[in-house]
Amino acid sequence: MRQHLEPGPDHPITVEPKETPVRVELAGALVLETRSYMELHEATYAPVAYLPREQVDMSALERSDQTTWCPYKGEAAYYHIRTADGGLIENAVWTYETPFPAVAAIKDALAVYPNKVDAIKIGG
């Protein structure tokens, strides 16, 4: 049975909406862009930008079979990024399609591994 844990003092999680644009670039091309995002802070991890799926052009993304489990957020699904030259950056994007209630704000939003793209630019 998969463990389900609630955020708390020992493992805090907060989600803050930001009205700031985000651009994700790979191989000199813009692959994802939004006009706002949600910033998730979890325990001692670096903050993560979650991009609202309804603002994203999904054409560069290809669904992966990979899933992972987070006891605080639930099951994550993954996407590959297809590059302009036909390459594939595997499992570069993750999303929680049915997150636990404590992090419901990130439902369907997309997060990108910074080490799998050239840049995640937040703001102007």
Spell out the residues 6+ positions from residue 71 whose beta carbon is closer than 8 angstroms to its own.
2, 3, 4, 5
**pLDDT (0 to 100) of residue 123:** 94
Q: pLDDT by residue (tens digit) across 17-68?
A: 999 999 999 988 999 999 999 999 999 999 999 999 999 999 999 999 999 9
SS3 66: strand
One-letter amino acid at 113 equals Y
Whether the CB-CB separation of 56 and 32 falls below 8 Å is answered with yes
Between residues 17 and 124, the one the model is more confident about: 17
Alpha-carbon separation of residue 72 from 5, 43, 62 (angstroms): 5, 11, 26
> 0.85 exceeded by the pTM?
yes
- Block residue for tokens 């805090």: 12
